[in-house]
Chains A and B, each alone.
Chain A
Amino acid sequence: EVLLLESGGGLVQPGGSLSLSCAASGFSFSSYVMNWVRQAPGKGLEWVSAIRGSGTTYYADSVKGRFTISRDNSKNTLYLEMDSLTAEDTAIYYCVKDNIVGAIHHNDYWGQGTLVTVSS
C-alpha cells in the first residue's frame, strides 16, 4: 500500500522559514517524480514544485528562489524548505506521487496534507 505522510506544518511569522517532510512507503521511491501541491483555505489546487529521482528540480514562478525541494532516496523522504514566507503561502501542502503509464504522467497518490499558516 502506498502511503505518503507529511509533517512539519505549523504557524510561522511573515518572513520566516519552515521545513516540510514527506515519508513515503509502499513503492520504489527513487523511481518516481515527486511533487508538492498546495491549496489555500477555501481555494483551488496549485502545483508548487517537483523533483525527479535523479534530483532535477522544478518550481512554480510563485515560489522560485524562496522554496527548495529535495529528496533522500535512502530514507524514502521528500522535503520542502520554505523561506521568506508570506501570507499568500498559507495553505495545506500535499505530497504527491507521480506515475507514468506509457508516456502519460499523472498524480496517482496524495498524502493527507500538512497545514502551513503564515501570520503574525
Chain B
Amino acid sequence: DIQLTQSPSFLSASVGDRVTITCRASQGISTYLAWYQQKPGKAPKLLIYAASTLQSGVPSRFSGSGSGTEFTLTISSLQPEDFATYYCQQLNSYPRSTFGQGTRLEIK
C-alpha cells in the first residue's frame, strides 16, 4: 500500500504569512495527488487535484506542485478563513486511495 506522510503535522502562522505543507509518498504516484481543506465540524473541501490544478472557486492564493514522491501545498498569503486542517490524498491506486495524516494550521 502507498503511504503518505505530511509535514509538518502542526503549523502555527500569522495572517499574511506564506506557508508550505509537504506530502511525501512511499512510492512514485506521478501527479495523482489531491489536497483538501477541512474545518472543524465540516466535510473536507477539494482545493487542488492532479497535484497542481486548482479546483473551481478556490482562491488563487492556494497552489500545488510536485510529482513522483514529493508534493507541496502553498498558501501565498494566509487569510483568517484558511486556518484549518489540510490533507493530501493519493489516487494512483484508484479507485482505492489513501490520505496523509493531516496538517493542522493554527493562528500564531
Contact = CB atoms under 8 A, between A and B. Distances in A.
Interface of A: 33, 35, 44-47, 50, 52, 58, 60, 94, 98, 101-102, 104-108, 110-113
Chain B: interface size category: 20 to 34
B65 to A, nearest CB: 15
Given A98-B95, A111-B43, 14 more contacts: A35-B95, A44-B87, A44-B102, A45-B89, A47-B96, A102-B50, A104-B32, A104-B50, A105-B32, A107-B36, A108-B46, A108-B55, A112-B42, A113-B43
Given A47-B96, A47-B98, A58-B95, A94 B46 contact: no
Interface of B: 31-32, 34, 36, 42-46, 49-50, 53, 55, 87, 89, 91, 94-102
B99 A105 contact: no
B43 A101 contact: no
Contacts of A44: 87, 99-102
Contacts of B96: 47, 50, 58, 60
